[in-house]
Structure 1
Amino acid sequence: MSQNALPQPIAERKSQLRRSLLDRRRSIDRQQWRDRSELLCDRLARSPVFAEARTVLGYFSFRQEPDLSPLFADRGRRWGFPRCVGRSLHWHHYQPGDRLDRGAYGILEPSAEAAAIAPEEVDLILVPAVACDERGYRLGYGGGFYDRLLADPRWQQKPTIAIVFDFAIFPELPIEAWDLPLQGVCSEKQFRGIG
Protein backbone atom coordinates (compact mmCIF):
# COMPACT_ATOMS: atom_id res chain seq x y z
CA MET A 1 0.00 0.00 0.00
CA SER A 2 1.38 3.40 -0.90
CA GLN A 3 1.81 6.05 1.76
CA ASN A 4 -1.15 8.03 0.40
CA ALA A 5 -3.53 5.06 0.02
CA LEU A 6 -6.19 4.79 2.71
CA PRO A 7 -7.46 1.44 3.92
CA GLN A 8 -10.72 0.45 2.28
CA PRO A 9 -13.72 1.24 4.54
CA ILE A 10 -15.32 -1.81 6.16
CA ALA A 11 -18.72 -1.09 4.59
CA GLU A 12 -17.13 -1.07 1.12
CA ARG A 13 -15.27 -4.34 1.78
CA LYS A 14 -18.51 -5.93 2.97
CA SER A 15 -20.39 -4.70 -0.09
CA GLN A 16 -17.80 -6.09 -2.52
CA LEU A 17 -17.69 -9.45 -0.70
CA ARG A 18 -21.50 -9.60 -0.64
CA ARG A 19 -21.74 -9.00 -4.42
CA SER A 20 -19.08 -11.62 -5.17
CA LEU A 21 -20.68 -14.27 -2.96
CA LEU A 22 -24.21 -13.63 -4.22
CA ASP A 23 -22.92 -14.02 -7.79
CA ARG A 24 -21.22 -17.27 -6.83
CA ARG A 25 -24.35 -18.57 -5.11
CA ARG A 26 -26.53 -17.68 -8.13
CA SER A 27 -24.12 -19.59 -10.38
CA ILE A 28 -24.76 -22.90 -8.58
CA ASP A 29 -26.66 -25.21 -10.88
CA ARG A 30 -30.18 -26.10 -9.71
CA GLN A 31 -29.45 -29.76 -8.95
CA GLN A 32 -26.29 -28.90 -7.00
CA TRP A 33 -28.27 -26.30 -5.04
CA ARG A 34 -30.89 -28.92 -4.14
CA ASP A 35 -28.23 -31.52 -3.24
CA ARG A 36 -26.27 -29.07 -1.06
CA SER A 37 -29.46 -27.89 0.64
CA GLU A 38 -30.48 -31.47 1.40
CA LEU A 39 -27.06 -32.25 2.91
CA LEU A 40 -27.28 -29.09 5.01
CA CYS A 41 -30.77 -30.03 6.26
CA ASP A 42 -29.53 -33.52 7.21
CA ARG A 43 -26.57 -32.05 9.11
CA LEU A 44 -28.78 -29.51 10.89
CA ALA A 45 -31.41 -32.13 11.80
CA ARG A 46 -28.70 -34.26 13.49
CA SER A 47 -27.51 -31.41 15.72
CA PRO A 48 -28.68 -31.63 19.35
CA VAL A 49 -29.73 -27.96 19.48
CA PHE A 50 -32.10 -28.46 16.54
CA ALA A 51 -33.33 -31.86 17.73
CA GLU A 52 -34.31 -30.37 21.11
CA ALA A 53 -35.94 -27.22 19.73
CA ARG A 54 -39.75 -27.23 19.71
CA THR A 55 -40.27 -23.77 18.17
CA VAL A 56 -37.82 -22.76 15.44
CA LEU A 57 -37.64 -19.52 13.49
CA GLY A 58 -36.63 -20.10 9.88
CA TYR A 59 -36.77 -18.40 6.50
CA PHE A 60 -38.04 -19.12 3.00
CA SER A 61 -35.16 -19.51 0.56
CA PHE A 62 -34.61 -16.51 -1.71
CA ARG A 63 -31.94 -16.00 -4.40
CA GLN A 64 -30.63 -19.54 -3.96
CA GLU A 65 -30.12 -19.39 -0.20
CA PRO A 66 -29.88 -22.88 1.28
CA ASP A 67 -33.38 -24.36 1.12
CA LEU A 68 -34.64 -25.52 4.53
CA SER A 69 -38.11 -26.55 3.31
CA PRO A 70 -37.49 -30.32 3.75
CA LEU A 71 -37.49 -29.64 7.50
CA PHE A 72 -40.78 -27.72 7.60
CA ALA A 73 -43.08 -30.78 7.45
CA ASP A 74 -41.87 -32.11 10.83
CA ARG A 75 -45.11 -32.16 12.85
CA GLY A 76 -43.24 -32.39 16.17
CA ARG A 77 -41.95 -28.86 15.76
CA ARG A 78 -43.57 -25.43 15.37
CA TRP A 79 -42.12 -23.11 12.76
CA GLY A 80 -42.10 -19.35 12.58
CA PHE A 81 -41.21 -17.11 9.65
CA PRO A 82 -40.63 -13.39 9.35
CA ARG A 83 -42.65 -10.62 7.80
CA CYS A 84 -40.79 -7.39 7.08
CA VAL A 85 -42.75 -4.55 8.64
CA GLY A 86 -40.99 -1.23 8.21
CA ARG A 87 -37.45 -1.86 9.46
CA SER A 88 -38.37 -4.80 11.71
CA LEU A 89 -39.03 -8.52 11.46
CA HIS A 90 -42.38 -9.72 12.84
CA TRP A 91 -42.61 -13.49 13.39
CA HIS A 92 -45.65 -15.65 12.61
CA HIS A 93 -46.51 -19.33 12.89
CA TYR A 94 -46.48 -21.31 9.67
CA GLN A 95 -47.13 -24.88 8.62
CA PRO A 96 -47.02 -26.29 5.10
CA GLY A 97 -50.17 -25.35 3.23
CA ASP A 98 -50.70 -22.03 5.05
CA ARG A 99 -51.15 -18.95 2.89
CA LEU A 100 -47.99 -17.05 1.95
CA ASP A 101 -47.70 -13.55 0.52
CA ARG A 102 -44.85 -11.82 -1.33
CA GLY A 103 -43.34 -9.16 0.88
CA ALA A 104 -41.80 -5.82 -0.04
CA TYR A 105 -38.51 -7.46 -1.05
CA GLY A 106 -40.15 -10.22 -3.09
CA ILE A 107 -39.59 -12.79 -0.33
CA LEU A 108 -42.40 -15.15 0.69
CA GLU A 109 -43.91 -14.25 4.07
CA PRO A 110 -46.68 -15.65 6.25
CA SER A 111 -49.99 -13.85 6.02
CA ALA A 112 -50.37 -10.86 8.34
CA GLU A 113 -53.34 -12.75 9.85
CA ALA A 114 -51.17 -15.74 10.89
CA ALA A 115 -50.69 -16.11 14.64
CA ALA A 116 -47.75 -14.10 15.96
CA ILE A 117 -44.84 -15.71 17.80
CA ALA A 118 -43.54 -14.13 21.00
CA PRO A 119 -39.81 -14.27 21.85
CA GLU A 120 -40.45 -16.44 24.92
CA GLU A 121 -41.88 -19.20 22.69
CA VAL A 122 -38.72 -19.51 20.56
CA ASP A 123 -36.07 -22.19 21.12
CA LEU A 124 -33.83 -21.58 18.08
CA ILE A 125 -33.32 -19.01 15.31
CA LEU A 126 -31.96 -20.11 11.91
CA VAL A 127 -30.44 -17.02 10.36
CA PRO A 128 -29.95 -16.64 6.59
CA ALA A 129 -26.55 -15.25 5.64
CA VAL A 130 -24.47 -14.34 2.63
CA ALA A 131 -21.38 -15.48 4.54
CA CYS A 132 -20.24 -16.29 8.05
CA ASP A 133 -16.89 -16.60 9.73
CA GLU A 134 -15.49 -19.16 12.13
CA ARG A 135 -16.16 -16.79 15.04
CA GLY A 136 -19.89 -16.69 14.22
CA TYR A 137 -19.97 -13.23 12.64
CA ARG A 138 -22.40 -13.01 9.73
CA LEU A 139 -22.44 -11.02 6.53
CA GLY A 140 -26.07 -10.28 5.76
CA TYR A 141 -27.77 -8.47 2.93
CA GLY A 142 -27.14 -4.97 4.25
CA GLY A 143 -30.63 -4.12 5.53
CA GLY A 144 -29.81 -4.68 9.21
CA PHE A 145 -33.02 -6.62 9.95
CA TYR A 146 -31.31 -9.45 11.85
CA ASP A 147 -28.78 -7.06 13.46
CA ARG A 148 -31.67 -5.09 14.98
CA LEU A 149 -33.54 -8.25 15.99
CA LEU A 150 -30.56 -9.85 17.71
CA ALA A 151 -29.61 -6.62 19.50
CA ASP A 152 -33.09 -6.48 21.07
CA PRO A 153 -32.87 -7.75 24.70
CA ARG A 154 -35.98 -9.93 24.16
CA TRP A 155 -34.10 -11.98 21.53
CA GLN A 156 -30.47 -11.82 22.73
CA GLN A 157 -30.49 -15.07 24.70
CA LYS A 158 -31.95 -17.20 21.91
CA PRO A 159 -29.64 -19.77 20.27
CA THR A 160 -28.76 -18.65 16.74
CA ILE A 161 -27.34 -20.61 13.83
CA ALA A 162 -26.19 -19.02 10.57
CA ILE A 163 -27.18 -21.05 7.50
CA VAL A 164 -24.72 -20.86 4.57
CA PHE A 165 -23.13 -23.02 1.92
CA ASP A 166 -19.61 -24.11 2.79
CA PHE A 167 -17.85 -21.83 0.27
CA ALA A 168 -19.23 -18.86 2.26
CA ILE A 169 -17.51 -19.72 5.56
CA PHE A 170 -14.36 -17.67 6.16
CA PRO A 171 -11.77 -17.60 8.94
CA GLU A 172 -12.63 -13.94 9.55
CA LEU A 173 -15.03 -11.40 8.04
CA PRO A 174 -14.79 -7.60 8.30
CA ILE A 175 -17.05 -6.51 11.16
CA GLU A 176 -18.46 -3.26 12.48
CA ALA A 177 -19.35 -2.20 16.04
CA TRP A 178 -22.99 -3.33 15.76
CA ASP A 179 -22.22 -6.80 14.37
CA LEU A 180 -23.04 -9.57 16.83
CA PRO A 181 -21.71 -13.12 16.55
CA LEU A 182 -24.14 -16.00 16.21
CA GLN A 183 -23.63 -19.11 18.32
CA GLY A 184 -23.40 -21.60 15.48
CA VAL A 185 -22.83 -22.00 11.75
CA CYS A 186 -24.26 -24.82 9.63
CA SER A 187 -23.34 -25.67 6.05
CA GLU A 188 -23.64 -28.79 3.91
CA LYS A 189 -20.18 -29.89 5.13
CA GLN A 190 -19.90 -28.71 8.74
CA PHE A 191 -21.63 -27.64 11.90
CA ARG A 192 -19.67 -25.29 14.17
CA GLY A 193 -20.57 -23.96 17.57
CA ILE A 194 -23.52 -24.89 19.74
CA GLY A 195 -24.80 -28.43 19.90
Structure 2
Amino acid sequence: MSEKANLRNLVIDQLEKLSKEDYDARSYELAKKLFQTPEWQAANCVGVTLSRFPEVNTRFILAEANKMGKTVVIPETLYPSRTMQFREYEKGDLLIEKRFGLMEPAPTAKLVDAAQIDLLIIPGVAFTTEGYRIGFGGGFYDRYLATYGGHTVALLFREQSGHFFSNEKHDIPVQKLLVD
Protein backbone atom coordinates (compact mmCIF):
# COMPACT_ATOMS: atom_id res chain seq x y z
CA MET A 1 0.00 0.00 0.00
CA SER A 2 1.29 3.49 -0.85
CA GLU A 3 2.40 6.14 1.65
CA LYS A 4 -0.72 8.21 0.94
CA ALA A 5 -3.08 5.25 1.18
CA ASN A 6 -1.60 4.25 4.55
CA LEU A 7 -1.93 7.78 5.91
CA ARG A 8 -5.48 8.08 4.53
CA ASN A 9 -6.51 4.88 6.33
CA LEU A 10 -4.81 5.94 9.57
CA VAL A 11 -6.52 9.35 9.68
CA ILE A 12 -9.93 7.94 8.74
CA ASP A 13 -9.58 5.37 11.53
CA GLN A 14 -8.86 8.20 14.02
CA LEU A 15 -11.82 10.28 12.81
CA GLU A 16 -14.23 7.36 12.97
CA LYS A 17 -13.60 7.20 16.73
CA LEU A 18 -15.21 10.62 17.23
CA SER A 19 -18.56 10.58 19.00
CA LYS A 20 -21.50 12.12 17.14
CA GLU A 21 -21.63 14.94 19.73
CA ASP A 22 -17.91 15.73 19.44
CA TYR A 23 -18.06 15.52 15.64
CA ASP A 24 -20.98 17.96 15.42
CA ALA A 25 -19.58 20.36 18.04
CA ARG A 26 -16.17 20.51 16.41
CA SER A 27 -17.70 20.91 12.93
CA TYR A 28 -19.80 23.81 14.21
CA GLU A 29 -16.75 25.54 15.75
CA LEU A 30 -14.86 25.17 12.46
CA ALA A 31 -17.80 26.64 10.55
CA LYS A 32 -17.80 29.64 12.93
CA LYS A 33 -14.08 30.15 12.17
CA LEU A 34 -14.88 30.09 8.46
CA PHE A 35 -17.62 32.72 8.86
CA GLN A 36 -15.05 35.14 10.33
CA THR A 37 -12.69 34.95 7.35
CA PRO A 38 -12.56 37.73 4.77
CA GLU A 39 -12.86 35.09 2.03
CA TRP A 40 -16.24 33.95 3.37
CA GLN A 41 -17.50 37.44 4.05
CA ALA A 42 -16.64 38.65 0.52
CA ALA A 43 -17.91 35.56 -1.31
CA ASN A 44 -21.17 35.70 -3.21
CA CYS A 45 -20.87 32.15 -4.54
CA VAL A 46 -19.50 29.33 -2.38
CA GLY A 47 -18.62 25.81 -3.55
CA VAL A 48 -18.97 23.09 -0.92
CA THR A 49 -19.52 19.34 -0.83
CA LEU A 50 -22.44 17.73 0.94
CA SER A 51 -20.29 16.06 3.57
CA ARG A 52 -20.54 12.60 4.99
CA PHE A 53 -18.99 11.31 8.18
CA PRO A 54 -16.07 11.54 9.00
CA GLU A 55 -15.61 14.70 6.88
CA VAL A 56 -16.21 18.00 8.69
CA ASN A 57 -19.99 18.42 8.70
CA THR A 58 -20.94 21.06 6.10
CA ARG A 59 -24.61 21.45 7.08
CA PHE A 60 -23.73 24.48 9.23
CA ILE A 61 -22.02 26.10 6.23
CA LEU A 62 -24.98 25.40 3.97
CA ALA A 63 -27.41 26.88 6.51
CA GLU A 64 -25.36 30.05 7.01
CA ALA A 65 -24.82 30.56 3.28
CA ASN A 66 -28.57 30.26 2.77
CA LYS A 67 -29.27 32.71 5.60
CA MET A 68 -26.82 35.22 4.11
CA GLY A 69 -28.21 34.90 0.58
CA LYS A 70 -25.02 33.40 -0.87
CA THR A 71 -25.27 31.16 -3.91
CA VAL A 72 -24.23 27.61 -2.99
CA VAL A 73 -22.81 25.26 -5.60
CA ILE A 74 -22.01 21.60 -5.08
CA PRO A 75 -19.85 19.28 -7.17
CA GLU A 76 -21.09 16.80 -9.70
CA THR A 77 -18.53 14.11 -10.52
CA LEU A 78 -18.14 13.00 -14.12
CA TYR A 79 -16.97 9.56 -15.21
CA PRO A 80 -14.90 8.19 -16.84
CA SER A 81 -12.96 11.48 -17.05
CA ARG A 82 -12.78 11.74 -13.23
CA THR A 83 -13.49 15.45 -13.47
CA MET A 84 -16.15 17.53 -11.81
CA GLN A 85 -18.27 20.58 -12.33
CA PHE A 86 -20.40 22.61 -9.94
CA ARG A 87 -24.16 23.10 -9.99
CA GLU A 88 -26.37 25.42 -7.95
CA TYR A 89 -27.96 23.93 -4.86
CA GLU A 90 -30.75 25.12 -2.61
CA LYS A 91 -32.15 23.21 0.34
CA GLY A 92 -34.73 20.75 -0.91
CA ASP A 93 -33.27 20.43 -4.43
CA LEU A 94 -33.23 16.97 -5.96
CA LEU A 95 -30.05 15.06 -5.15
CA ILE A 96 -28.75 11.86 -6.68
CA GLU A 97 -26.66 9.31 -4.81
CA LYS A 98 -23.48 8.67 -6.77
CA ARG A 99 -20.40 6.52 -6.19
CA PHE A 100 -19.24 6.04 -2.61
CA GLY A 101 -22.61 7.26 -1.31
CA LEU A 102 -21.97 10.88 -2.28
CA MET A 103 -25.03 13.05 -2.77
CA GLU A 104 -24.75 15.22 -5.86
CA PRO A 105 -26.96 17.65 -7.76
CA ALA A 106 -29.32 16.45 -10.44
CA PRO A 107 -28.07 17.12 -13.98
CA THR A 108 -30.99 19.55 -14.36
CA ALA A 109 -29.55 21.95 -11.74
CA LYS A 110 -27.96 25.12 -13.12
CA LEU A 111 -24.33 24.64 -14.12
CA VAL A 112 -21.97 27.29 -12.68
CA ASP A 113 -18.67 28.23 -14.33
CA ALA A 114 -15.55 28.11 -12.14
CA ALA A 115 -14.98 31.85 -12.68
CA GLN A 116 -18.25 32.56 -10.84
CA ILE A 117 -17.22 30.65 -7.70
CA ASP A 118 -15.59 33.04 -5.22
CA LEU A 119 -14.69 30.46 -2.56
CA LEU A 120 -14.24 26.69 -2.61
CA ILE A 121 -14.36 24.74 0.65
CA ILE A 122 -11.98 21.88 -0.12
CA PRO A 123 -12.51 18.47 1.52
CA GLY A 124 -9.68 16.14 2.36
CA VAL A 125 -8.42 13.50 4.73
CA ALA A 126 -4.91 14.63 5.70
CA PHE A 127 -3.09 17.93 5.20
CA THR A 128 0.44 19.25 5.46
CA THR A 129 0.98 22.62 7.13
CA GLU A 130 1.61 24.03 3.62
CA GLY A 131 -1.92 23.07 2.51
CA TYR A 132 -1.14 19.97 0.45
CA ARG A 133 -3.81 17.36 0.92
CA ILE A 134 -4.64 13.73 0.60
CA GLY A 135 -8.22 13.33 -0.49
CA PHE A 136 -10.28 10.22 -0.88
CA GLY A 137 -8.25 9.02 -3.84
CA GLY A 138 -10.24 10.06 -6.90
CA GLY A 139 -8.19 13.10 -7.93
CA PHE A 140 -11.32 15.16 -8.72
CA TYR A 141 -10.31 18.25 -6.74
CA ASP A 142 -6.71 18.13 -8.02
CA ARG A 143 -8.03 18.28 -11.58
CA TYR A 144 -10.50 21.05 -10.79
CA LEU A 145 -7.99 23.19 -8.87
CA ALA A 146 -5.58 23.10 -11.81
CA THR A 147 -7.76 25.71 -13.57
CA TYR A 148 -9.65 27.30 -10.65
CA GLY A 149 -8.59 30.86 -9.84
CA GLY A 150 -10.64 31.73 -6.74
CA HIS A 151 -10.02 31.35 -3.02
CA THR A 152 -9.68 27.94 -1.36
CA VAL A 153 -10.17 27.05 2.30
CA ALA A 154 -10.18 23.71 4.08
CA LEU A 155 -11.77 23.01 7.45
CA LEU A 156 -10.05 20.23 9.32
CA PHE A 157 -10.05 18.48 12.61
CA ARG A 158 -6.67 18.55 14.38
CA GLU A 159 -6.29 14.83 13.60
CA GLN A 160 -6.12 15.77 9.91
CA SER A 161 -3.49 18.50 10.29
CA GLY A 162 0.29 18.65 10.22
CA HIS A 163 1.01 15.42 8.38
CA PHE A 164 4.09 14.83 6.26
CA PHE A 165 3.91 13.12 2.90
CA SER A 166 5.42 13.53 -0.54
CA ASN A 167 3.34 15.73 -2.76
CA GLU A 168 3.27 15.21 -6.51
CA LYS A 169 3.81 17.86 -9.18
CA HIS A 170 0.07 18.00 -10.00
CA ASP A 171 -0.88 18.65 -6.35
CA ILE A 172 -2.14 22.16 -5.63
CA PRO A 173 -2.16 23.35 -2.01
CA VAL A 174 -5.25 24.79 -0.34
CA GLN A 175 -4.66 28.50 0.35
CA LYS A 176 -6.03 28.62 3.90
CA LEU A 177 -6.38 25.89 6.53
CA LEU A 178 -8.73 26.30 9.47
CA VAL A 179 -7.97 23.78 12.22
CA ASP A 180 -10.00 23.15 15.38
TM more than 0.5:
yes
Q: C-alpha offsets along residues 18-62 of structure 1, whole Å, 9 cap, x if unaligned? A: 000011111111111000110011111111111111100001112
- Larger deviation: 17-26 or 172-181? 172-181
Q: Matched residue of 2:87: which SS?
A: strand
Aligned partner of 1:81 in structure 2 is 74
The number of residue pairs the alignment matches comes to 175
RMSD between aligned residues: 1.4
Amino acid at match of 1:117: V
- Larger deviation: 139-148 or 169-178? 169-178
Structure 2: distance between partners of 1:168 and 1:135:
13
Aligned partner of 2:138 in structure 1 is 143
Q: C-alpha offsets along residues 110-164 of structure 1, whole Å, 9 cap, x if unaligned? A: 1111101111211011110101111111111111111111113xx1x21111222
CA shift, 1:101, in A, is 1.2
| Residue 22, structure 1, aligned to residue 17, structure 2 | no
Aligned partner of 1:175 in structure 2 is 167
Structure 1: distance between partners of 2:175 and 2:21:
30
CA shift, 1:94, in A, is 0.4
Structure 2: distance between partners of 1:62 and 1:181:
22
Unaligned runs of 5+ in 2: none
CA shift, 1:84, in A, is 1.0
| Residue 12, structure 1, aligned to residue 12, structure 2 | no
Aligned partner of 1:104 in structure 2 is 99
Aligned partner of 2:23 in structure 1 is 33
Q: Matched residue of 2:177: which SS?
A: strand
Which of residues 60, 66, 82 in structure 1 aligns to 2:56? 66
CA shift, 1:171, in A, is 5.6
- Give identity over the alignment, percent: 29
Which of residues 38, 45, 59 in structure 2 aligns to 1:48? 38
Whether the aligned pair in 1 keeps the contact of 2:126 and 2:163 (CA below 8 Å) is: no
TM-score (norm 2): 0.92
Which of residues 43, 47, 61 in structure 2 aligns to 1:57? 47
Q: Matched residue of 2:127: which SS?
A: strand
Structure 1: distance between partners of 2:4 and 2:53:
18
Whether the aligned pair in 1 keeps the contact of 2:3 and 2:165 (CA below 8 Å) is: no
CA shift, 1:63, in A, is 3.0
| Residue 185, structure 1, aligned to residue 177, structure 2 | yes
Which of residues 120, 124, 127 in structure 1 aligns to 2:122? 127
Task: Determine which structure has the larger helix proportion and give its number.
Answer: 2
Unaligned runs of 5+ in 1: 1-10, 190-195
TM-score (norm 1): 0.85
User: Which structure has the larger Rg over C-alpha atoms?
Assistant: 1
